């Protein structure tokens, strides 16, 4: 079945490494050399993950990062459960675009959980590139968000952690919703029972 | 001062009136909205007729101006839900408007408007004019039933009934609400219906043991059938009457046509026009996209889009194509495809597809991409193509037929190639088919041929076999005669023509006859046929029949076997068993009679013999019955068997040794044969002969018999006993004694 429990949207400017992130995440199921779904592409990926012993099918929506399609990203994150906004710590430009999405998400999809994800950690660790986005700025921004991760698609560092966190959060949400729904149903039942009971007496 | 409270009160009153328009209607409410003193009409949006016409004209003018860019969909919204079908003047106006806008769809709406239910107060008047309740044709239900059975054979009838009932109520509900609600409300209602069905599946006992996956399939089933039916109704769910989906469709199509000059280089997608594979993939993607319009249910449309996008992804040269590659390529595909009624289709899916599926899942993702592509094309500017504004304008001003001709040519080529491929495949199929038929025909011809030969051979066999028993039996053979018989054939052979002579013994004459008959007919055909037919036996499966023929008539066999014995006293060596297959026997016998009378009996004569033979069969039997009285010659016929059981002398013979048998019997020929054939059997199961001291000492009379029965256990059944010609048979039959 191509149906998914959660919809996770990947946002981020071009060449920031969104597709690599998805590939890294999904292909750990397979041999890393074989691209997921062989030739079909990595635009949409689905993976089954566990949270609290329950299986959830996570659908990951890759988006086109090019600026000319910026106006259309709204269409993508409609109804998303979670969004990952990627940026490159060594590129200030990617960070400025991130702020744009952050604002949009806050305005349009309030229920969507937002995660920040700094990519290409291995380059940063090895000193090939210099950090351009100051850490305290990132920390300040990630205050109101669900999480911030620095990942490396090359080594796989933090990738699984990021997605696991997302699934856990979403699953908790689902549980909460279900509890509320159950309680509501119970209340309805009680009320109906009460009414039915009262009906017996009231023939006026 | 004095007017203060008054004014306030009146103001309050006004507020109140405007807020709650319910029961009391002020006269001012009935006036034209424009404030001219005429009365307004709700059908004319509260204007009087004159003002309304002016308003409409203004609107249309605005529409025309804005049609180059995409017009806003809100323009016609206020009208809907206010029309009353019984209002003749209004419907006339409606018709006029229709003709002006030249839409066929809306004409259908009028036809369909009989089902309309007005939401306004004059519900009571129109009630009696309303046509009878709308009915869903039975064929829909039938189709659903069939589909359900093929798709969910494992589910019970309760589930089937529930789903079909739900689809029915769903369709009725939508049709009822279609004219009352706006499209968005209707879509919401449909979504709620989906949820209702989901809840029903969760709670109902009928669905208790249905798995979650199957439930989703059931959901798809419901959606598919409900929407397939509704899709066919004009202007209910597909480009509904309240929206201007249709106009948007046309605008979109024109827009795409205008943009046909946009090539892969403008969109920065890596496509290779010269690569045939690439062209082929693009062609496939386009044909899927075009197929979206012909798919009826939202699920089918989605799957079309999904397949299209799969092709597009493969089109992108990079191995794991990402969204960065997908979107431009998809935009390009849409531009080249220019799918019909694109906006209507997209709106239909977004409104009436099960939202749960649309929001998540692969189909949803690709559909979202398609939406993006369409919105990109709508808002395409010079900047979005990274082009000079002037150049862009130049291109846009150019007639649509000029631009993009290269790709159009390539794609038409693709179409031709595909068609050629299809034709070729078809031709190939036909070729193999004809080849098959040809081989079959040949096989059939060969079959017929060999069948004919078989029949001929069989007829001959029968002919050669049958004269054996023909005429002779008038006398019963006696013990004393046997010796004469043995010598008789040689004499008889010479006098075969004089068969009527009573002196010749019955069992003698057939033999030479067979011998004489065989050569007459078989000299030419039989010899040539036999080598041919034998290999063909396997092909035809005739061998079974071939084997049956000797065993078919046990009496016959007995007879020949007897004859064999008598005649082969001299030729014991060639066929010691006396159980040689029919053919070989006949060949064996061919040797002796070959010298004489190949010409003696013409085939015609044999036919005459054949006729007589049938009548003689009874006589044959009677002889067989009588014969054993004097001597237990044939141990195979059931009668003989029975007789043997009473007839003692045999049992002691075998068990004691054959010296005694020899002594007691003057017919040493029989004994001799029996001894010869029992030998191999005895070797198999027991050390040695019956006279070996061990056996004698060990066994009383019955012991060896038991052993022999154990060996022959398989043959214990009377039927097999009858068929088995081996002389050991009497032993087993002796058991009870």
pLDDT of residue B133: 62
User: Do residue B322 and residue A79 have CB atoms under 8 angstroms apart?
Assistant: no
User: Do residue A68 and residue B216 have CB atoms under 8 angstroms apart?
Assistant: no
Q: Is the pLDDT of residue B669 over 70?
A: no
DSSP letter (8 states) at residue B130: S
Cα separation of the two ends of chain A: 56
User: Do residue A64 and residue B379 have CB atoms under 8 angstroms apart?
Assistant: no
Cβ–Cβ contacts within 10 Å for residue B184, how many? 12
Minimum-distance CB partner of A59 among B355, B361, B383? B361
- The residue among A68, A76, A119 with the most chain B CBs within 10 A of its CB, best to mutate, is A68
Residue B203: Cβ-neighbour burial (10 angstroms; 0-12, 13-18, 19+) = exposed
pLDDT band at B24 (very low <50, low <70, confident <90, very high): low
**CA B520 and chain centroid, separation:** 56
Report whether B248 contacts B73 (CB < 8 A): yes
User: Do residue B365 and residue A44 have CB atoms under 8 angstroms apart?
Assistant: yes
pLDDT band at B562 (very low <50, low <70, confident <90, very high): very low
Phi, psi (degrees; rounded to nearest 5) at A60: -110, 125
For A5, the 3-state DSSP assignment is: coil
For B181, the 3-state DSSP assignment is: coil
- What is the tens place of the pLDDT at every residue in B633-666? 555 555 544 444 445 545 444 444 444 444 444 5
- Note whether A19 contacts B: Cβ–Cβ < 8 A: yes
Q: Which residues of chain B have a Cβ shorter than 8 Å from any chain A Cβ?
A: 213, 216, 306, 309-310, 313-314, 316, 319-328, 355-357, 359-366, 368-369, 371-372, 375-376, 379, 383-384, 386
The angle subtended at Cα B94 by Cα B93 and Cα B98, nearest 5°, is 115
DSSP letter (8 states) at residue B270: -
**Alpha-helical regions (H) of B495-637:** 510-521, 527-540, 543-552, 554-567, 582-591, 603-630
Cβ–Cβ contacts within 10 Å for residue B540, how many? 17
User: Among all chains, which residue has been given the structure tokens 């977004």?
Assistant: B350
Residues B205 and A21: their CA atoms lie apart, in Å, by 45
Average pLDDT over residues B20-30: 55
Q: To the nearest whole angstrom, how far is the Cα of B434 from the nearest Cα of chain A?
A: 39
Q: To the nearest whole angstrom, how far is the Cα of B74 from the nearest Cα of chain A?
A: 21
pLDDT of residue B113: 42
User: Do residue B383 and residue A75 have CB atoms under 8 angstroms apart?
Assistant: no
Of B2-11, B156-165, B474-483, highest mean pLDDT: B156-165
Q: Which residues of A touch B364 (CB under 8 A)?
A: 7
Residues B443 and B435: their CA atoms lie apart, in Å, by 12
Residue A86's DSSP bridge partners are: A117
DSSP letter for each residue of B432-454: HHHHHHHHHHHHHHHHHHHHHHH
pLDDT of residue B545: 43
Cα separation of the two ends of chain B: 148
Report whether B282 contacts B271 (CB < 8 A): yes
User: Do residue B319 and residue A43 have CB atoms under 8 angstroms apart?
Assistant: no
Who has greater pLDDT, B446 or B691? Answer: B446
User: Do residue A63 and residue B383 have CB atoms under 8 angstroms apart?
Assistant: no
pLDDT of residue B109: 44
Average pLDDT over residues B389-394: 86
Q: Which residues of B touch A71 (CB under 8 A)?
A: 375, 379
Q: Which residues of A touch B328 (CB under 8 A)?
A: 64
Q: Is the pLDDT of residue B190 over 80?
A: yes
pLDDT of residue B448: 95
Residues B188 and B178: their CA atoms lie apart, in Å, by 12
Residues B309 and B337: their CA atoms lie apart, in Å, by 13
Give a three-class secondary structure readout of A26-92: HHCCCCCCCCCCCCCCCCEEEEEEEECCEEEEEEEECCCCCHHHHHHHHHHCCCCCEEEEEECCCCH
pLDDT of residue B441: 96
Phi, psi (degrees; rounded to nearest 5) at B301: -60, -45
Tell me what the pLDDT averaged over chain B comes to.
65
Q: Which residues of A touch B383 (CB under 8 A)?
A: 68
CA dist list (Å): B400 to B163, B169, B257, B385, B403: 50, 48, 6, 18, 6
Minimum-distance CB partner of A72 among B321, B361, B376? B376
pLDDT of residue A105: 86
Report whether A89 contacts A82 (CB < 8 A): no
Lowest mean pLDDT: which of B170-179, B462-471, B620-629? B620-629
User: Among all chains, which residue has been given the structure tokens 């009934």?
Assistant: B161
Q: Is the alpha carbon torsion for B489, B492, B496, B501 positive or negative?
A: negative
- Note whether A35 contacts B: Cβ–Cβ < 8 A: yes
User: Do residue A59 and residue B359 have CB atoms under 8 angstroms apart?
Assistant: no
Residues B655 and B636: their CA atoms lie apart, in Å, by 20
User: Among all chains, which residue has been given the structure tokens 């015609």?
Assistant: B604
Q: Which residues of A touch B321 (CB under 8 A)?
A: 41-43
Residue B663: Cβ-neighbour burial (10 angstroms; 0-12, 13-18, 19+) = exposed
Q: Which residues of A touch B372 (CB under 8 A)?
A: 64, 69, 72, 75-76
DSSP letter (8 states) at residue B525: I
| Rama region for B211: left / alpha / beta (φ>0; ψ in -120 to 50; rest) | beta
Cβ–Cβ contacts within 10 Å for residue B34, how many? 15
Q: Low-confidence residues of chain A, pLDDT below 50?
A: 1, 29-39
Q: List all residues of chain A from 62 to 101 with a beta carbon under 8 Å from chain B.
A: 62-66, 68-69, 71-72, 75-76, 78-79
Minimum-distance CB partner of B372 among A4, A75, A79? A75
For A11, the 3-state DSSP assignment is: strand
Lowest mean pLDDT: which of A1-10, B321-330, B494-503? B494-503
User: Do residue A41 and residue B316 have CB atoms under 8 angstroms apart?
Assistant: yes
- Note whether A174 contacts B: Cβ–Cβ < 8 A: no
pLDDT band at B393 (very low <50, low <70, confident <90, very high): confident
Domains of chain B: 1-68 (1.20.5), 138-232 (1.10.246.120), 481-624+656-734 (no CATH)
pLDDT of residue B12: 36
Residues B213 and B329: their CA atoms lie apart, in Å, by 33
Residues B371 and B359: their CA atoms lie apart, in Å, by 13
Residues B695 and B689: their CA atoms lie apart, in Å, by 8
Q: Is the pLDDT of residue B442 over 90?
A: yes
Report whether A84 contacts A20 (CB < 8 A): no
User: Do residue A7 and residue B386 have CB atoms under 8 angstroms apart?
Assistant: no
Residues in chain A: 204
ipTM of the complex: 0.86
Phi, psi (degrees; rounded to nearest 5) at B534: -65, -45
Report whether B283 contacts B418 (CB < 8 A): yes
For B296, the 3-state DSSP assignment is: coil
Q: Is the pLDDT of residue B427 over 70?
A: yes
Report whether B305 contacts B289 (CB < 8 A): yes
Q: Which residues of A touch B323 (CB under 8 A)?
A: 18-19, 43, 61-65
Residue A157's DSSP bridge partners are: A152
pTM of this structure? 0.55
Nearest CA in chain A to B326: A43
Minimum-distance CB partner of B327 among A1, A18, A69? A69
- Note whether A6 contacts B: Cβ–Cβ < 8 A: yes
Exposure on the CB side of residue B31, measured as CA atoms within 13 A:
8
Residue B359: Cβ-neighbour burial (10 angstroms; 0-12, 13-18, 19+) = middle
User: Among all chains, which residue has been given the structure tokens 């078919």?
Assistant: B552
CA dist list (Å): B707 to A9, A187, B653, B719, B724: 88, 89, 16, 21, 18
DSSP letter for each residue of B232-284: HSTTSSSS-TTS-HHHHHHHHHHHHHHGGG--HHHHT----TT-HHHHHHHHH
- Note whether A32 contacts B: Cβ–Cβ < 8 A: no
Minimum-distance CB partner of A41 among B322, B363, B371? B322
Q: Is the pLDDT of residue B20 over 70?
A: no
Residues B327 and B373: their CA atoms lie apart, in Å, by 7
User: Do residue B313 and residue A75 have CB atoms under 8 angstroms apart?
Assistant: no
DSSP run (H or E) holding A159: helix A159-201
Residues B396 and A3: their CA atoms lie apart, in Å, by 42
Residues B99 and B697: their CA atoms lie apart, in Å, by 123
Residues B630 and B359: their CA atoms lie apart, in Å, by 102
- What is the tens place of the pLDDT at every residue in B563-591? 444 444 444 444 445 444 444 444 444 44
Q: Which residues of B608-631 are buried (b: 16+ CB within 10 A; e: fewer)?
A: ebbeebeebeebbbebbeebbeeb
Residues B397 and B399: their CA atoms lie apart, in Å, by 6
In chain B, % of residues over pLDDT 70: 47
Nearest CA in chain A to B379: A71
DSSP letter (8 states) at residue B353: S
pLDDT of residue B606: 47
- What is the tens place of the pLDDT at every residue in B147-187? 888 888 888 888 888 888 889 888 888 888 888 888 888 88
pLDDT band at B282 (very low <50, low <70, confident <90, very high): confident
Q: Which residues of B touch A34 (CB under 8 A)?
A: none
Q: To the nearest whole angstrom, how far is the Cα of A139 from the nearest Cα of chain B?
A: 29
pLDDT band at B453 (very low <50, low <70, confident <90, very high): very high
Residues A86 and A101: their CA atoms lie apart, in Å, by 10
- What is the tens place of the pLDDT at every residue in B369-382? 999 999 999 988 88
Residues B649 and A135: their CA atoms lie apart, in Å, by 121
Q: Is the pLDDT of residue B532 over 50?
A: no
- What is the tens place of the pLDDT at every residue in B196-235? 888 888 888 888 888 888 888 888 888 888 888 888 887 7
Nearest CA in chain A to B215: A1
User: Do residue B324 and residue A14 have CB atoms under 8 angstroms apart?
Assistant: yes
Nearest to B577 by CA among B678, B487, B507, B666: B678
Q: Is the pLDDT of residue B141 over 80?
A: yes
Q: Which residues of A touch B330 (CB under 8 A)?
A: none
Residues B634 and A165: their CA atoms lie apart, in Å, by 96
Residues B259 and B392: their CA atoms lie apart, in Å, by 10
User: Do residue A2 and residue B375 have CB atoms under 8 angstroms apart?
Assistant: no
Q: Which residues of A touch B361 (CB under 8 A)?
A: 2-4, 46, 59
Who has greater pLDDT, B343 or B507? Answer: B343
User: Do residue B322 and residue A19 have CB atoms under 8 angstroms apart?
Assistant: yes
pLDDT band at B64 (very low <50, low <70, confident <90, very high): low
Adjacency order of strands within the sheet including A54-61: A44-51, A54-61, A6-11, A82-87, A113-118, A147-150
User: Do residue A64 and residue B327 have CB atoms under 8 angstroms apart?
Assistant: yes
Domains of chain A: 6-196 (3.40.50.300)
């Amino acid at each position: 079945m191509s149906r998914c429990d959660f919809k996770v949207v990947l946002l981020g400017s071009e060449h920031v490494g969104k597709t690599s992130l998805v590939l890294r995440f999904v292909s750990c199921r397979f041999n890393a050399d074989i691209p997921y779904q062989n030739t079909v592409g990595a635009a949409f990926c689905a993976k089954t993950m566990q949270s609290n012993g329950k299986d959830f099918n996570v659908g990951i929506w890759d988006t086109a990062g090019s600026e000319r399609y910026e106006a259309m990203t709204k269409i993508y994150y409609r109804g998303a459960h979670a969004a990952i906004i990627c940026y490159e710590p060594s590129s200030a430009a990617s960070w400025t675009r991130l702020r744009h999405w952050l604002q949009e998400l806050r305005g349009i999809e309030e229920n969507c959980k937002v995660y920040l994800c700094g990519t290409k950690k291995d380059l940063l660790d090895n000193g090939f590139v210099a950090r351009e986005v100051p850490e305290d700025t990132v920390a300040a921004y990630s205050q109101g968000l669900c999480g911030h991760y620095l990942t490396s698609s090359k080594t796989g560092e933090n990738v699984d952690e990021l997605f696991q966190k997302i699934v856990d959060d979403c699953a908790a949400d689902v549980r909460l919703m279900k509890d509320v729904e159950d309680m509501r149903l119970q209340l309805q039942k009680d009320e109906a029972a009460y009414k039915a009971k009262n009906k017996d007496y009231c023939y006026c | 001062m004095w007017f203060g409270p008054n004014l306030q009160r009146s103001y309050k009153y006004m507020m109140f009136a405007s807020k709650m328009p319910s029961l009391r209607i002020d006269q001012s409410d009935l006036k034209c909205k424009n404030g001219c003193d005429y009365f307004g009409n709700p059908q004319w949006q509260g204007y009087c007729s004159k003002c309304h016409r002016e308003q409409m004209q203004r609107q249309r003018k605005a529409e025309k101006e804005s049609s180059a860019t995409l017009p806003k969909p809100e323009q016609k919204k206020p009208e809907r839900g206010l029309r009353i079908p019984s209002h003749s003047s209004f419907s006339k106006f409606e018709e006029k408007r229709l003709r002006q806008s030249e839409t066929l769809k809306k004409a259908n709406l009028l036809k369909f408007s009989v089902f309309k239910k007005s939401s306004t107060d004059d519900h009571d008047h129109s009630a009696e004019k309303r046509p009878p309740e709308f009915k869903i044709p039975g064929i829909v239900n039938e189709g659903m039933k069939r589909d359900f059975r093929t798709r969910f054979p494992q589910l019970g009838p309760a589930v089937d009934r529930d789903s079909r009932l739900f689809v029915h109520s769903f369709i009725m509900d939508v049709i009822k609400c279609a004219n009352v609600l706006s499209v968005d409300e209707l879509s919401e209602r449909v979504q709620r219906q989906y949820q209702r069905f989901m809840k029903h599946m969760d709670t109902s006992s009928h669905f208790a043991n249905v798995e979650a996956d199957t439930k989703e399939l059931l959901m798809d089933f419901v959606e598919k059938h409900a929407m397939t039916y509704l899709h066919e109704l004009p202007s209910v769910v597909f480009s509904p009457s309240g929206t201007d989906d249709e106009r948007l469709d046309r605008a979109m199509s024109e827009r795409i046509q205008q943009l046909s000059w946009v090539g892969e280089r403008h969109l920065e997608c890596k496509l290779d026009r010269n690569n045939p594979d690439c062209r082929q993939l693009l062609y496939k993607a386009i044909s899927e996209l075009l197929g979206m319009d012909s798919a009826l249910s939202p699920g089918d449309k989605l799957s079309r889009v999904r397949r299209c996008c799969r092709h597009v992804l493969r089109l992108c040269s990079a191995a794991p194509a990402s969204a960065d590659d997908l979107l431009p390529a998809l935009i390009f595909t849409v531009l080249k495809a220019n799918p019909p009624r694109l906006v209507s289709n997209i709106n239909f899916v977004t409104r009436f597809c099960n939202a749960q599926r649309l929001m998540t899942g692969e189909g949803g993702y690709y559909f979202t991409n398609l939406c993006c592509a369409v919105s990109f094309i709508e808002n395409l500017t010079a900047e979005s193509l990274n082009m000079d504004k002037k150049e862009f304008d130049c291109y846009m001003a150019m007639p649509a037929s000029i631009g993009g001709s290269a790709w159009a040519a390539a794609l038409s080529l693709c179409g031709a190639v595909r068609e050629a491929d299809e034709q070729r495949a078809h031709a190939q199929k036909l070729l193999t088919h004809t080849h098959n038929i040809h081989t079959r025909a040949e096989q059939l011809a060969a079959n017929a041929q060999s069948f004919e030969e078989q029949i001929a051979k069989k007829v001959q066999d029968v002919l050669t076999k049958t004269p054996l028993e023909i005429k002779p039996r008038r006398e019963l053979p006696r013990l004393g005669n046997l010796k004469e018989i043995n010598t008789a054939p040689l004499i008889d052979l010479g006098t075969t023509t004089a068969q009527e002579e009573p002196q010749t013994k019955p069992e003698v004459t057939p033999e030479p006859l067979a011998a004489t008959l065989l050569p007459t007919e078989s000299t030419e055909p039989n010899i040539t046929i036999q080598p041919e037919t034998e290999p063909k036996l396997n092909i035809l499966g005739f061998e079974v029949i071939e084997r049956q023929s000797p065993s078919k008539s046990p009496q016959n066999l007995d007879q020949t076997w007897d004859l064999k014995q008598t005649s082969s006293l001299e030729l014991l060596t060639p066929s010691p068993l006396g159980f040689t297959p029919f053919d070989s026997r006949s060949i064996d016998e061919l040797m002796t009679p070959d010298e004489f009378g190949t010409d003696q009996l013409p085939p015609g004569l044999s036919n005459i013999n054949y006729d007589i033979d049938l009548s003689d069969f009874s006589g044959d039997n009677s002889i067989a019955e009588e014969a054993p009285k004097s001597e237990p010659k044939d141990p195979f016929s059931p009668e003989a068997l029975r007789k043997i059981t009473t007839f003692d002398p045999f049992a002691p013979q075998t068990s004691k040794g054959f010296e005694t048998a020899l002594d007691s019997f003057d017919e040493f020929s029989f004994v001799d044969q029996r001894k010869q054939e029992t030998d191999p059997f005895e070797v198999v199961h027991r050390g040695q002969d019956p006279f070996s001291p061990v056996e004698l000492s060990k066994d009383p009379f019955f012991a060896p018999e038991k052993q022999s029965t154990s060996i022959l256990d398989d043959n214990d059944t009377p039927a097999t006993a009858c068929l088995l010609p081996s002389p050991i048979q009497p032993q087993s039959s002796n058991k009870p004694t």
